Structure 1
Amino acid sequence: MMAEPRIALVCPTYGQFDYAMRTIESFARHTEDPLTIVVDDASPDWGDPDWQEFLGADALPIVVHRFPENGGLTRSWNWGIHRAIMQGADYVIAGNSDILFCEGWQHGLIHALESGYALAGPLSNAPGRTATVKAHVANYVPGYRLTDDPAYLDSLSRTLQARYQGLVVEARVNGFFQMARAEVWLAGRFDEAHVYRPRNDLQPNGMPNPDPLMTSNEDELQNRWARLGWRFAVCPSSFIFHYRAVSRGTNYLHGSWMRRTDG
């Protein structure tokens, strides 16, 4: 019997630790051999007692690194991917800290990555602008209900797996959840020290980027990988719930983005 692959989640944090704890818990609950790499971007409330108790409980496999000064999301992903590979991960997710994993989330993604795709992403309620139409769950499930209820999400995940098993939609992958095999991350890195380009001063449209350490990272990476002839996939049999833009406040809350309903 083959051992389950080790899957690592790079979980960047900047405050909002209640969401990060739910992300990590759901990942561990629905993954056979999980490893979470928490990379904190100098959160001012890092000492939050509940968060520190969670990190110190030793109940889940977690590696923690905190940068003493703010440096942006791209730095956190770069650090976390390298550490995950050092820890022996077979697959690594460059993720967010405001997502929820569901039952059987990994099967479609692994199928795509073992079928020749370099990068894979799931369906979601709030997938982002990169592949909104191809990655929005409402386009695959008529009557989709926006909720973070775990029982509903697991039922939805089972439905998608039964309906779309083996289906791969060729598309760019949204930045909140990018999964690749460990050796692909290394083979496609920007330079010896960085998987993603450390800063992106221009947006994909050529305009100045107001957040060069935070955004356009997934666009630059996929543009670079596409020039190598590498392909990307959205997997309709895989679903990840995404609250989206939690650390940026309620001004960024719209559409099918949402906030926790359990307080």
Structure 2
Amino acid sequence: MMTGDRVFIWRGPRLALALSAISITACNQTPAAQAAGETTAAAQALADTPVAFAARPDLGKDIAALPRLVGTTPAIAAINADLDTLDAAARESAAGCENPDGGYSRWISQPMTGPAFVTYAISEEYNCGGPYPSTSQTTVTYDLASGRRVDWSDVLKTMNVNNGDTEGMPAGSVPIVYSPALAAWYVRTIKAQIVGQDGGSEWMEQCAPVFDAEEFSSNGFRLSADAEAGGLMVSPDLPHVVQACGDAAIMDGAAMRASGVEGRLIEALATAHAAGNWSPKE
């Protein structure tokens, strides 16, 4: 858990090289195209510069705050404003938990810390009444060039992904995504991933009915860019009773290309994986 005001930095490509490429490309464009190109390329150059984070004090006992990005660009300001919204929602969750011993807890990790994209993973536990505590896992990936959350329905271009409804959910909630094509890919991949692992045959015996059921094609998923895995983390949103079957599947570079993912994200993930750009390190 991170406290205080430490700053940690990912060191990426030199900004000077990126800006040099911008000026060379701009020479062969019309004024209007040149202006648009310079804006896009400059934003991308800034996205590829070192990414720095500043830890924030905990919001309460066992309630971690989201580290903020360090910098003054519009994209960084927009991301930090969204992180403010997510932290405010956590405070509301803690305030609404009627447990005198502190029934709400929150932990933060960062599966990707640049270049070009950053991902936050938020784990929450609620023990606010009832026989059992409940847990929640949320991941959100930001594009450092635009300052916006990555919309996976725009990224997986060949999978016809749709975003779920967040109406009535806390501010800043990340939608679950739905896609029969993604569900079919997940079933194939997770079964191949489990085969050969210790306990794999037992897992297959117990969990195969969950994924073989016809209705699984309408199951929802959570997606995030994950540098440690070197690809997209695809996690099914399963009912509590079968959550033990909800292992995450990794969409690697080849699978991403087949799913219509643009090279920029694929290249950023490969670079981040090689550089060890995630936190905390195990």
- TM-score higher than 0.5: no
Q: Which has the larger radius of gyration?
A: 2
Q: When you count helix as a share of all residues, which structure comes out higher?
A: 2
Higher RCO structure (Cα 8 Å, ≥6 apart): 1
TM-score normalised by L of structure 1: 0.26
